[in-house]
Structure 1
Amino acid sequence: MSRKIKHLLVGGLITMTMSLPTATTANESDLRLTIVNPENLYDPTPNGYSTAVIVPAGARVAYISGQGGQDATGSLSPDFSVQVKQAYANLRSALDALGAKPDQVAKLTVYVVDHDMSKLGVLTESVKAMFGNTLPAQTLIPVPKLAVDPMLFEVEAVVLLK
């Protein structure tokens, strides 16, 4: 590799590193997530998520399959908000089974059937109730339907295990 290319690569890495706020530097011996919400981007926290989350090097990661709004008997309410609350209760049960807490969730992906802006309030309220100020990165994907016809909502998670 030429000296010029090495300078460009190193310079690019330094520039990339310098553009991150100093608070985003993760301590590799500390198995906590580092939340990153750059000041030059829209603040997503009022909407219940963070822009990015750093998982420390060497951490074990678990993936929780999509949790729908079914209760313990498999029943689904026809009400969207009831399904969302139950899905987050189910997610909490899955976290408990892993010995994890909500502040160990790095990323959520949520699927919403026939999404419209009226559903955002329910979603934000549920996320903030479960995660408080330690909001994971999150992506909302509108879908025409889910695995079971009456399902209106599903949430999956990526979790840091300590």
Structure 2
Amino acid sequence: MTIGVPAATTANENDLKLTIVNPRNLYDPTPNGYSTAVIMPREARVAYISGQGGQDGTGALSPDFAVQVEQAYANLHAALDALGARPDQVAKLTILVVDHDMSKLEVLTRNVKKMFGEALPAQTLIPVPRLAVDGMLFEVEAMAVLD
């Protein structure tokens, strides 16, 4: 993993690790819990993980946004475990937030940093009016490189 590298950096083809690219001439996104770009190795197998919401093992949803976010990341971690993957193998997240506002950003940042540490994936946050299930406030989907 490389942080703060020039834009021309490329991944070592024999290395199955992701290369994180945060060009020095762009805004540093790491305090907000994401990276500008992530290079996947040429020979990598990619897993696409469907959106994980905040449902617990019984399918129940808390009405609390922070609880749903924490549960969704636990669900994502369980999906990674089932694939034999680790959080540092996640290259990209897509985040969907119902009625997003800046108060929710702190919750999102805290949870992504808790799960990914310094290996922050590329990330896109999309505010939406609603999600697939009534009461669902958050969803996270992922792309991961498998060893």
Q: How does 1:133-152 map to 2 (within 5 A)?
A: 133-152=118-137
- Structure 2 equivalent of residue 43 of structure 1: 28
Is 1:53 the counterpart of 2:38? The answer is yes
Where 1:110 maps in the other structure, the secondary structure is strand
Task: Select which of 33, 36, 42 maps to 2:18.
Answer: 33
**C-alpha RMSD of matched pairs (Å):** 1.2
Q: Which has the larger radius of gyration?
A: 1
Residue in 2 that maps onto 1:8: none
**Residues 22 and 112 of structure 1, relative CA distance in 2, 3 Å threshold:** closer
Give the Cα separation in 2 of the matches to 1:151 and 1:161.
Answer: 29
Distance in 2 between the 1:23 and 1:95 partners?
30
Check the 8 A contact 2:80/2:86 in 1, yes or no. Answer: yes
User: Please, what TM-score do these two structures have when normalized by structure 2?
Assistant: 0.95
Is contact 1:109–1:156 with CA below 8 Å preserved after alignment?
yes
Q: Which residue of 1 aligns with 2:145?
A: 160
Deviation at 1:24, TM superposition (A): 2.7
How far the C-alpha of 1:112 sits from its partner, in A, is: 0.1
Partner secondary structure for residue 59 of structure 2:
coil
The answer to whether the 8 Å contact 1:63/1:159 transfers is: yes
Any conservation in 2 of the 1:24–1:35 contact (CA below 8 Å)? Answer: no
- 1:104 is the counterpart of 2:89: yes
Unaligned ranges ≥5, structure 2? none
In the comparison of the two structures, how many residue pairs are matched? 143
CA shift for structure 1 position 161: 0.4
